Structure 1
């Protein structure tokens, strides 16, 4: 194994769980972080079946104290941090004119500030290990739309945050990149389709079938495909790649 310990937030489901299972092939220990402990235990079983040790931390990364708790417990258990994957972040998909300040704050608190605080808290250990950080954004960062303005706005902020961290990381030896998934079939995607369907005069079943065509893609992505990209980014093969924004969306974004 080229590295030892990785922290993965949002590890209880979807892309976070897929990333944990994939990274269990390359890391000896994973720190699995999310709010739902029961789901984390399921992820830990899958990680263990691959052969890596798992430490479960049920924490809400929107809370300011959570970052220090996660890093302290990771270091107490394993004495190092080689990689950090900031995947947690559910942003409300509500029209620009309907979102309240509280809903904006909820989205910003978990996805943006949670990732920012955890990366800063883990930075000394990452610097010591010459480690890697991945921040998950989304391709809506490239085309924010009124019906789901917060998603695009916060994802764009994540890309900018990753760029800033990568600039500091050049001097500190910490590699930082961001990933922009497109329409990936997860539980969150299914919730999105429930919102998207009535806006387009469809049932959820019709929307699920028709959305790829509306988005100009052949099919939905799978969590495991995004996990493979993240595994590459924290591998020795990608070591010279830093400050990059990698889009994996089946060709949904047509611009150069």
Structure 2
């Protein structure tokens, strides 16, 4: 029986989890990938409740051999790959002059090279299914600043990588786009706000209002909102969209 199969990396929390759960409504099978198996099992349970068969793969995609292992396990169980959503890769927000070589290398290894290797490993199957790929960037790619230089630089590299893959995909029948979220209320961001509020004699509610206001937006985004965009990009309705870098940030970026 033919089945539609999506791989979602970074699926243990935040946007990755929201995307996996959202795609469970559209895909018969999901492969959820991340380093935290316990959290992945929770994601898989949510996806199964939404109707999708699931495969949990605990993997560190910064390791060069992990990409092939993910693809091999996916094909062994499901026989095909129709969509790949590269979401893994949190990069520390550290000042330009304070970011260590190890932090740069860790960010590049997981977010950039992990996505590159996994996309290449999945490419033959994606060609066979005329599949779709999404790479997660961020709107910091459009305005790199010293307080989070590594984030902006790596996100800009993700956009360029997606463009290169999309160029290859025109001839190979594989659709590739990137997504640039703005500030989203993930668990990681909530923890940061709690820490920041405690150290500045402010409530978490006050901090949650302050930061979006300072960024010139009405509120933080929600992971489920980004997930809807991800789902659209791997849907039949988006088949002619390729090479796009789609920003979803509540209007934080003011330039045209």
Post-superposition CA distance 1:9-39 (Å, at most 9, x none): 0001000010011100110000000000000
Note if 1:213 corresponds to 2:213: yes
Residue equivalent to 2:112: 112
Q: TM (normalized to structure 1)?
A: 0.95
Post-superposition CA distance 1:117-159 (Å, at most 9, x none): 0000000000010000000100000001101110000000000
1:188 to partner: Cα distance: 2.3
Residue equivalent to 1:122: 122
Contact 1:93 1:149 in 2 (8 A): yes
Residue equivalent to 1:100: 100
For residue 135 of structure 1, give the secondary structure of its aligned residue in structure 2.
strand
Q: Structure 2 vs 1, CA of residues 86 and 175 (structure 1 numbering), >3 Å: closer, same or farther?
A: same
Residue equivalent to 2:7: 7
Residue equivalent to 2:146: 146
Contact 1:23 1:231 in 2 (8 A): yes
Residue equivalent to 1:136: 136
Residue equivalent to 2:226: 226
Residue equivalent to 2:56: 56
Report matched runs for 1:11-90 at 5 Å. Answer: 11-90=11-90
Partners of 2:254 and 2:129 lie apart in 1 by 38
Q: Structure 2 vs 1, CA of residues 16 and 186 (structure 1 numbering), >3 Å: closer, same or farther?
A: same
Q: TM (normalized to structure 2)?
A: 0.95
Partners of 2:12 and 2:188 lie apart in 1 by 12
1:209 to partner: Cα distance: 2.2
Structure 2 residue runs without a partner (length 5+):
none
For residue 12 of structure 2, give the secondary structure of its aligned residue in structure 1.
coil
Partners of 2:216 and 2:146 lie apart in 1 by 20
1:208 to partner: Cα distance: 2.3
- CA RMSD across the alignment: 1.7
Partners of 2:159 and 2:255 lie apart in 1 by 17
Contact 1:166 1:174 in 2 (8 A): yes
Partners of 2:220 and 2:141 lie apart in 1 by 18
Partners of 1:202 and 1:211 lie apart in 2 by 15
Contact 2:3 2:78 in 1 (8 A): no
1:194 to partner: Cα distance: 6.1
For residue 60 of structure 2, give the secondary structure of its aligned residue in structure 1.
coil
